[in-house]
Chain A
Amino acid sequence: MKNRSCIAAAFAASLVLGVPSLAAADSMDSNMLGNPCAGCHGTAGQSKGAMPTIKGKSAKFIAKALKDFRDGKKPSTVMQRIAKGYTDAQIDALAKQYGG
C-alpha cells in the first residue's frame, strides 16, 4: 500500500513538473486519474444534470474543493468518500486536467 502511493505520488509529481521525456505517458496517466470523474460530472466535466459542472472552474478551485471535501471542511453527500481516495499530489494532477 505504502509503496503504491509513493509511486502514484511520484507519477503525479512528475506530471506537475512536466518531465519532458515522459510527457506522453504522463498525460495519459493524469487522464487516467481524472477520467472516472466524468461518470458523474460528464465528459470533460460538463454535467448534464444535478451534479456540479467542473468544466470552466480553475485548477486551484477544484483542488481546494477536493481537499476541503476530503478533510471534512466542506460538507458533502458522497464527495468526502471519493476525495479520501486521493493524495494531495493526485488531487493537484486531476484538478489540472479539468481546470487547465
Chain B
Amino acid sequence: MAKLTRRAFTTLAGTAGAASALGLVNIIPARAASGRVVVIGGGFGGATAAKYLRRMDPGIQVTLIEPKKQFVTCPFSNTVLGGINDIGFITHNYDALKSTWGATVVHDMATAVDTGKKTVTTGGGRTFGYDKLVLSPGIDFRWDAVPGYGPDVAGKIPHAWHGGEQTVALRKQLEAMPDGGVFVIAPPTNPFRCPPGPYERVSMVAHYFKTTKPKSKIIILDPKPKFSKMPLFLEGWKALYGGMIEWVGAGDGGATKRVDAANMTLHTEIDEYKGDVVNFIPTQKAGKIAQLAGATDKTGWCPINPRTFESKMVKDVYVIGDASIASPLPKSGFAANSEAKVCAAAIAAELAGKAPGEPSMINTCYSLVSPDYGISVAMVYGFADGKITKKKGSGGVSPKGANAEFRKKEAQYAEGWYSSISSDIWG
C-alpha cells in the first residue's frame, strides 16, 4: 500500500538541500522522503542501517563511510580459533550494498564530525554533509584500564575482540602451541561486546585442544562473579571437556591487576598465571568517533532516545550497535541489526514528515559449545514508558539437561543464523 506510493517518488529532489527537502515534506506530507544520511561504520549496525534505509525508501541518499574494503566478523570468529572454519568464511564485502541497494560506500576513516554544520570529515580529506548521521563505530578499548596492556602488546597477547588480523594472530599462536600447553583468557568487566563471547571462545579452543592437543589446559581469569549462560556452559564443558577448563571468578580473585607481556603472565591480586598463549580482552567503550562527535557521556558510551536511537547529546545524530546504551539489549550483532532497522525506520519516517513507529526488536545469541552442541539466549524487546523493555513472558535460555538432538539442532541453527544475518547485512 503506502510502500508503493513512497517508491513512486524515488527520483524526487535527489540533490535538493536538506532544509528545502525537509520543508517540502512538511508542506506535502504524502511526498517521498528525501535527504542525505551518512552512516559511519559498515559493521553489524551500520551496514544494516544503510541497506534498510535504501530498502525502506530509495529516495534517501545513503553514504556509508567504512575504512575496510572487507569486513571480517567477530561472530563465528571463535569457530576460526577452533579450526572449524577459515577466515574466508567470516569475510564479507560491500558489493551488494552498492550495486543492489544503491548506497554510496566510501572506504575511508571518519575523523571529525561537525554537528553544527552537519558535516563529516574523513582522513582522506573529504567532507560529507548530512541531514541525519548514523554512528555505528562499535567499540574501542580503554587501554589504560589494566597496567601493562596496550596496543603495543596486542601482537604478542592478542585481544581478538575486533575481527580480522587479531583473530588470525590468536589462531596462529594456538596452532603453534605444543600439546600440554596452557591457554589463559581474561574476559573484560561489564559492559562489553558479546557477553557470551569469551565463554564460546573457551569452548571452541577446548574443542581444538581436545581433537589435537588433549593434554593442554585452559584457565579463565574473570573479573566477574558470573557470566552469560553460565549454567549451560558449565554443563557443556563438563560433558565434553572434562577437567580441561578452570574458571577463576571474581570471588577467587580472578580480576587481572597487571599484565606482564614479557613473561606472558597475568597477575591477579592473589596469584599469577603464566600462559603459553594469552588472550587478554580489555575494558571497552564506544568507538572513538562517537566521542569526537560529542555523543558519549561520562561512561564512555552513548545515551540514546530508545524510540529512535537518536543521541541524547547531539541532534540529528543516531547511535546504534555496541556504542549505544540500549540496555536491556545486549551488545550483540543481532541486537545491532535489530536496532539499525528501528533507527532506519525512524529516520525514514522523520524525513518523510511522519511520526516514527513503535520499536520492536529481537536478540538471539547462539553459542557453540562444540560444533554439534549449540546453546542460545533470546529475548523480544518492546517499548514502554519511554524505555526499551523486555516483552514479558518471552525469551530466556535453552533448557538445561536437553538431549543431544536438541543441542545439535541449535548448533545447526547457530550457523543458519550466521548465514542469514550476514546476507541481511551485506547481501
Assess whether B420 is in contact with A48, with CB atoms less than 8 Å apart: yes
Assess whether B378 is in contact with A42, with CB atoms less than 8 Å apart: no
Which of B358, B385, B416 is in CB contact (< 8 Å) with A32? B358
Interchain CA distance A36-B52 in the complex, whole Å: 12
Assess whether B334 is in contact with A39, with CB atoms less than 8 Å apart: yes
Assess whether A35 is in contact with B52, with CB atoms less than 8 Å apart: yes
Assess whether B394 is in contact with A84, with CB atoms less than 8 Å apart: yes
Q: How far is the CB of A88 from chain B (nearest CB, A)?
A: 14
Contact A36:B362 (CB < 8 A) given known A18-B1, A28-B354, A49-B415: yes
- B interface, size bucket: 35 or more
Residue of B nearest to A94 (CB): B360
Interchain CA distance A48-B334 in the complex, whole Å: 16
Which of A18, A47, A84 is in CB contact (< 8 Å) with B380? A84
Point out the residues of chain B lying under 8 angstroms from A68, CB to CB.
Answer: none
Interface residues of B in 321-376 (CB under 8 A from A): 334, 337-338, 341-342, 345, 348-349, 352, 354-362, 364, 376
Interchain CA distance A85-B381 in the complex, whole Å: 8
Point out the residues of chain A lying under 8 angstroms from B241, CB to CB.
Answer: none
Assess whether A41 is in contact with B420, with CB atoms less than 8 Å apart: yes
Interchain CA distance A48-B413 in the complex, whole Å: 11
Point out the residues of chain A lying under 8 angstroms from B395, CB to CB.
Answer: 81-82, 84-85
Residue of B nearest to A42 (CB): B420
Point out the residues of chain B lying under 8 angstroms from A41, CB to CB.
Answer: 420
Interchain CA distance A8-B380 in the complex, whole Å: 14
Contact A85:B380 (CB < 8 A) given known A35-B345, A39-B420, A78-B413: yes
Interface residues of B in 367-406 (CB under 8 A from A): 376, 378-385, 389, 391-396, 398, 406
Which of B415, B417, B424 is in CB contact (< 8 Å) with A43? B424
Which of A3, A36, A42, A50 is in CB contact (< 8 Å) with B384? A3
Interchain CA distance A42-B427 in the complex, whole Å: 10
A/B pair count, beta carbons within 8 Å: 157
Assess whether B360 is in contact with A33, with CB atoms less than 8 Å apart: yes
Assess whether B418 is in contact with A49, with CB atoms less than 8 Å apart: yes
| Chain B CB within 8 A of A17 CB | no
Point out the residues of chain B lying under 8 angstroms from A46, CB to CB.
Answer: 423
Contact A28:B338 (CB < 8 A) given known A36-B362, A40-B417, A50-B412: no
| Chain A CB within 8 A of B238 CB | no
Q: How far is the CB of B371 from chain A (nearest CB, A)?
A: 13
Q: How far is the CB of A51 from chain B (nearest CB, A)?
A: 4
Interface residues of B in 123-153 (CB under 8 A from A): none
Point out the residues of chain B lying under 8 angstroms from A29, CB to CB.
Answer: 357-358
Interface residues of B in 37-56 (CB under 8 A from A): 52, 55-56
Q: How far is the CB of B281 from chain A (nearest CB, A)?
A: 25
| Chain A CB within 8 A of B66 CB | no
Contact A50:B415 (CB < 8 A) given known A27-B2, A42-B423, A81-B396: yes
Point out the residues of chain A lying under 8 angstroms from B359, CB to CB.
Answer: 32
Point out the residues of chain B lying under 8 angstroms from A86, CB to CB.
Answer: 380, 391, 394
Assess whether B1 is in contact with A27, with CB atoms less than 8 Å apart: yes
Q: How far is the CB of B215 from chain A (nearest CB, A)?
A: 35
Would you give the 0/1 interface string for A66-97, flagging 1 where the beta carbon is closer than 8 Å to chain B? 00000000000110011111100010000000
| Chain B CB within 8 A of A11 CB | yes
Point out the residues of chain A lying under 8 angstroms from B342, CB to CB.
Answer: 32, 35
| Chain A CB within 8 A of B118 CB | no
Point out the residues of chain B lying under 8 angstroms from A13, CB to CB.
Answer: none
Interchain CA distance A7-B385 in the complex, whole Å: 12
Interchain CA distance A96-B306 in the complex, whole Å: 26
Residue of B nearest to A43 (CB): B424
Assess whether A77 is in contact with B389, with CB atoms less than 8 Å apart: no
Residue of B nearest to A34 (CB): B360
Assess whether B362 is in contact with A37, with CB atoms less than 8 Å apart: yes
Point out the residues of chain A lying under 8 angstroms from B385, CB to CB.
Answer: 4
Assess whether B364 is in contact with A40, with CB atoms less than 8 Å apart: yes
Interchain CA distance A42-B420 in the complex, whole Å: 5
Q: How far is the CB of A53 from chain B (nearest CB, A)?
A: 9
Residue of B nearest to A45 (CB): B420
Interchain CA distance A75-B420 in the complex, whole Å: 22
Point out the residues of chain A lying under 8 angstroms from B52, CB to CB.
Answer: 35
Assess whether B56 is in contact with A28, with CB atoms less than 8 Å apart: yes
| Chain A CB within 8 A of B310 CB | no
Point out the residues of chain B lying under 8 angstroms from A90, CB to CB.
Answer: 360
Assess whether A28 is in contact with B413, with CB atoms less than 8 Å apart: no
| Chain A CB within 8 A of B70 CB | no
Please, could you name 13 A-B residue pairs with CB atoms under 8 Å apart, sorted by A? A1-B392, A35-B338, A39-B417, A43-B423, A46-B423, A50-B419, A81-B394, A82-B378, A82-B380, A85-B380, A85-B381, A85-B393, A86-B391
Binding site for B on A (CB under 8 A): 1, 3-4, 7-8, 11, 18, 23-29, 31-33, 35-43, 46-51, 77-78, 81-86, 90
